[in-house]
Amino acid sequence: MSLPSALELVAKAPVVPVVVIEQVEDAIPLARALVEGGLPLIEVTLRTPVALEAIRMIAAEVEGAIVGAGTVIDRAQIEASLEAGATFLVSPGTTPSLAEAFAQTPIPVMAGCATASEAMRLAELGFEILKFFPAEASGGAPFLKSIAGPLPHLRFCPTGGIGPANASDYLALPNVVAVGGSWVVPADAIRAGDFGKVRVLAAGAAGLKRAAKFG
């Protein structure tokens, strides 16, 4: 059975939750709340000591979850994420050496970029979907709209500064296949164990409409 492509993965939901897990015991109930809310694609950022163990637990125990590793910045993190069971990788930016390492990775990758030139180069290397980061600080939806005409083959998952107030602005663009965001996993709700709130926020995000065509 062939592995899904990055495009096939993001087609499952318009929002990719960007998750920071501080306590490993939060991993499973948090992931279950997201899946139940309609957001199966979960990016666990490698920003905490328990991130890899959280990925391992979610991959093994949460039915329906498609868990990936975010904030991947070097080859060692790629290898550790694969060992933990990550099914996709996301980077905030992409150096030449990281792009080379990603090219040898057997799972989908959303490589990070912030400019048109970076995006064009990554597309030439075969990356199907690019993480536009930090989205709001790098020109936001107006930037992506402006390059959709001259560069219609590029497809993005913007992340950074996106929330319920502006997510629809991004998703209305034909070159945006999904958005990444942390608003569906607020830190205060996680600390309080209020995974019901996460489920409600996820359901709202899962219902957002997008203009991008798939396939």
pLDDT for residue 210 is more than 80:
yes
- 43 belongs to the catalytic site: yes
DSSP conformation class of 77: H
Q: Cα–Cα distances in Å, from 23 out to 48, 145, 170, 208?
A: 9, 39, 32, 30
User: Which of 47, 41, 39 minimizes the C-alpha distance to 21?
Assistant: 47
Name the superfamily (CATH) of residues 6-206: Aldolase class I (3.20.20.70)
What are the pLDDT digits (tens) for 62-108? Answer: 999 999 999 999 999 999 999 999 999 999 999 999 999 999 999 99
pTM for this predicted structure: 0.96
What is the spatial distance between Cα 203 and Cα 50, in angstroms, rounded to a whole number? Answer: 26
As given in the structure block, the two tokens for residue 188 are 């205060």
What are the pLDDT digits (tens) for 176-197? Answer: 999 999 999 999 999 999 999 9
Q: What is the dihedral of CA 134, 181, 32, 23, to 10 degrees?
A: 60
214: left (phi over 0), alpha (psi -120 to 50) or beta: beta
Q: Reply yes or no: is the peptide bond before residue 134 cis, omega within 30 of 0.
A: yes
- Residue with token string 């910045």: 73
pLDDT for residue 31 is more than 60:
yes
Catalytic residue among 43, 79, 83, 124: 43
Catalytic residue among 124, 131, 145, 213: 131
What is the spatial distance between Cα 57 and Cα 105, in angstroms, rounded to a whole number? Answer: 21
pLDDT reported for residue 215: 65
pLDDT for residue 1 is more than 80:
no
Could you tell me if 94 and 119 are in contact, meaning their C-beta atoms sit under 8 angstroms apart?
Answer: no
- Residue with token string 């139940």: 36
Could you tell me if 85 and 55 are in contact, meaning their C-beta atoms sit under 8 angstroms apart?
Answer: yes
- 61 belongs to the catalytic site: no
What is the spatial distance between Cα 75 and Cα 77, in angstroms, rounded to a whole number? Answer: 5
Residue 173 dihedral angles phi and psi, to the nearest 5°: -85, 140
Alpha-carbon torsion 46, 21, 176, 212, what sign?
Answer: positive
